[in-house]
A and B are shown apart, each in its own frame.
Chain A
Amino acid sequence: MANYGYTAIVVAWLARLNPFYIAVASFLLAGLRVGVESLQLDMQVPAAFGWIIEGLVLLSVLAGGLLHYVSGHPALMDIAILIPLLAATVQSGTPILYATSG
């Protein structure tokens, strides 16, 4: 499962182009990649599953930008950062949980 360049884009946007959040986002996506590879080994789920999730995460982040845009309100902007991060945690955590428990 190569294509690290695409993942870099997902990381950058998940971090809302903020260098500090990059560490968090890249850690989560690294978890997703490793988790998906264990899934492939243990349960014969094609690793391409990880790409689907990455694509969906990025699409959700972009769509979530509307919240940011409509309000312009600082508190809502924080939520706009947190929601995709939370969503990514859930989405990347699921395969990791499967991999560790299975």
Chain B
Amino acid sequence: MRPTKSEDDALVDLVDVILRKGAVIEADVVIAVADIPLVGLKLRAALAGMTTMTEYGIFEEWDEAQRLRHREGVDRRVE
């Protein structure tokens, strides 16, 4: 059997890895580091609302950390 490669395959097989895996850089030059996911807030909210991911609690901790940071960021800009 030969492997197939369609857009549907990509969506089914790769959504999770493109969003959560792939190489992760932990360095100051990068927008987000280690414990903070690199995806945007609304995007993560959209994902977190979806059952399979929240069942595993994948996003909960990240969410909190990210929200905290985001708030701090907003505060700083306001000052």
User: Do A and B associate with each other?
Assistant: no
Footprint of A on B, CB under 8 Å?
none
